[in-house]
Amino acid sequence: MIEMENINLIKQIAHDIELIKQSLMKQTEKRWLTVKELAQYLGYSKDHIYHLKEETFLEDIHFFKKTGKILFDRVAIDSWVLEGYNSNDINKSRRQIVDNILSSIKKIPKNSRT
Q: What is the side-by-side strand order in the sheet with 69-73?
A: 32-33, 69-73, 63-66
pLDDT level of residue 102 (50, 70, 90 thresholds): confident
Angle at 100 between CA 99 and CA 106, to 5 degrees: 90
> For 43-95, what is each residue's pLDDT tens digit?
999 999 999 999 889 888 999 998 889 999 999 999 889 887 555 566 666 67
- The Cα-based distances of 92 to 41, 74, 79 in angstroms read 23, 20, 17
* Residue predicted with more confidence, 100 or 56: 56
67 three-class SS: coil
pLDDT at 76: 92
pLDDT at 3: 73
> For 15-55, what is each residue's pLDDT tens digit?
888 888 877 776 667 889 999 999 999 999 999 999 999 98
